[in-house]
Amino acid sequence: METNRDDFIIAIRSAFLKKGTKQRFSLIVLLFFSITILTLSKYNFKGISFLKSGLNEIVYRASFIISAPENFVVNTYKLTMSHINLYDDHKKLKKDFKALKAENLSNNFIISENIMLKSKIGDIVDISSEILAKVLVDKQSPFLKSIIVNKGSKDKVKLGMAVLDGDFLIGKVVEVNYLTSRVLLLSDLNSKVPVSVEPNSVQSILTGTGEKFGKLQYTQLESFDLNNGDQVYTSGSGGIFKSGIPVGEINIIDESKESYVLFHSNFSQLRLVKIVLYENIN
Amino acid sequence: MSLTKLPFSRKLLSLGPIILLYVSVLNEFDFNYLNLKYFSFNFPYILIFYWSLKGEGRLSYVLVFLAGLINDVVIGLPLGISSVTYLFICVFAVYLRNITLRVSLIKDWFFFLFTILVINSIFYSILVVFFNVKIDYYNLLFNVLYTFLFYYFFSYIFGYYLNLLRRTND
């Protein structure tokens, strides 16, 4: 029994301390380094922030280059599939276009009426800066959903700016480097956005699930009626985003009355995005 | 003279595992585009465990540490967490190497499962307790499962590569 314990201790000690002929450092030294870096990054130590910022600039570019062959294969596959589905897509788009054309006419009237009414209560929010950015890295890990874009503090990107794919909200800037930035997607578990569900103007918080769907929380469903197909827009609460940016639509309401929102934008297809800052013009 | 006997080819072959490790952390083989729910596996875990166990010191711990830092930057995790997990995998692999008298793939395979369960518990605890980062527990569990299953497959490929390396060094 005593011998077994001794063997275990010798094997463990050797694993941690023994360097080996081809190694420069023992594992215990490197583990100590890693834990030190981790602890300092927890307390936002300045040196670690500089190290991280420097690493970010190099690694994001390197990752973009290294991912090129894989991206080429994936893009070729998608291109081939889109060619195969061309005829069906064309038929569907033609039908959608007719419907949207009619809708657009009535929308124009509502928009101008809305602007006029908002100006009366001094709530006109406008885009004060808009930056077009290219997605460098969209390697969304199974745990964290984020993308890296090729615009940073050099291009006046700031923390918290909204990121859009066309007119649809996809996330916000959570990390800014000199030449690049990280965007936390709405699908990430850590993302929380105040939203309004139309047509009943139900106020809620949209949280990510790590999947293609978001989940509505804090809606007090007993008193509100939500249905499949209801549109979800930003509510503007909290002042981070302006109100009325389209996010998605309610797709599933399960038995426990949890509502899931299908995002308008496909986060795995992002190539170019808009980083925008909304400010009250008054 | 065979191509693998040339000094440059020999050097390149011996650097193969490290190159593969860096490509995998920079590229993140995630297969997201396949749209398979919960499908993901951690290739660096497999590679680091195998080459620490069998690689006869070919996998430099310093480079493993740096690969961890790069992985944190690419994924957006707190800096240092992947280095800790990668180095702990090395510790487990070296421990297994120290206590192994008769080599068995099945034993290695199940010890690898034990290793990644412990490592992912540390990883999950640090992220949730100290950094308040939410992680889908099911994703993590399936990641462990697929990583475990793929180890068996990759150990054959790495075994073949290791034999090639040994032959070129003879």
pLDDT, tens only, A66-92? 878 877 888 888 889 889 989 998 999
Q: How far is CA B127 from CA A33, A42, A175, B72, B86, in A?
A: 18, 10, 18, 12, 15
Q: Average pLDDT, stretch A10-38?
A: 81
B75 and chain A: CB distance < 8 Å anywhere? yes
- Interface residue of B31, B70, B98, B131 to substitute, partner A, most A CBs within 10 Å: B98
**B49: in domain:** yes
Range of the domain at B155: 15-31+40-162
3-state secondary structure of A247: strand
Lowest pLDDT segment from A49-58, A267-276, B5-14, B15-24:
B5-14
Alpha helices in chain B (DSSP H): 7-27, 43-54, 61-75, 81-99, 105-125, 131, 137-169
B87–A34 C-beta distance less than 8 A = yes
- Interface residue of A38, A60, A270 to substitute, partner B, most B CBs within 10 Å: A38
pLDDT, tens only, A226-238: 777 888 888 877 7
Q: Taking a C-beta distance cutoff of 8 angstroms, is the pair A183, A173 a contact?
A: yes
Q: Taking phi first (over 0 means left), then psi (-120 to 50 degrees means alpha), and beta for anything else, what does residue B106 get?
A: alpha
pLDDT of residue A21: 67
3-state secondary structure of A188: coil
**B1: in domain:** no
User: What distance in Å separates the CA atoms of residue A175 and residue A275, rounded to the nearest whole number?
Assistant: 13
**B127: in domain:** yes
pLDDT, tens only, B56-100: 777 888 999 999 998 888 888 888 899 999 999 999 998 998 888
Of A188, A82, A196, A191, which is closest to residue A143 (Cα–Cα)? A188
3-state secondary structure of A269: helix
User: What distance in Å separates the CA atoms of residue A117 and residue A243, rounded to the nearest whole number?
Assistant: 15
pTM: 0.76
**B134: in domain:** yes
Domains of chain A: 192-267 (2.40.10.350)
Q: Taking a C-beta distance cutoff of 8 angstroms, is the pair A250, A232 a contact?
A: yes
**B44: in domain:** yes
User: What distance in Å separates the CA atoms of residue A137 and residue A22, rounded to the nearest whole number?
Assistant: 35
pLDDT of residue B117: 94
Cα Rg, chain B, nearest whole Å: 17
pLDDT of residue A277: 83
**B148: in domain:** yes
**B2: in domain:** no
pLDDT of residue B135: 78
Chain A residue at shortest CA distance from B28: A139
**B65: in domain:** yes
Shortest distance, CA A30 to any CA of chain B (angstroms):
7
pLDDT of residue B153: 92
B7 and chain A: CB distance < 8 Å anywhere? no
With cut-offs at 50, 70 and 90, classify the pLDDT of residue B37.
low
pLDDT of residue A141: 65
Q: Is A259 exposed, middle or buried (0-12, 13-18, 19+ CB in 10 A)?
A: buried
Q: How far is CA A226 from CA A77, A206, A246, A248, A255, in A?
A: 38, 14, 17, 14, 13
3-state secondary structure of B9: helix
Shortest distance, CA A22 to any CA of chain B (angstroms):
6
Lowest pLDDT segment from A168-177, A257-266, B102-111, B119-128:
A257-266
Chain B residue at shortest CA distance from A184: B76
How many domains, chain B?
Answer: 1
Q: Residue A59 is which amino acid?
A: V
Of B75, B34, B61, which is closest to residue A63 (Cα–Cα)? B75
Report the percent of chain B where pLDDT is more than 90: 29
On chain B, the residues whose CB falls within 8 A of the CB of A42 are: 78, 130-131
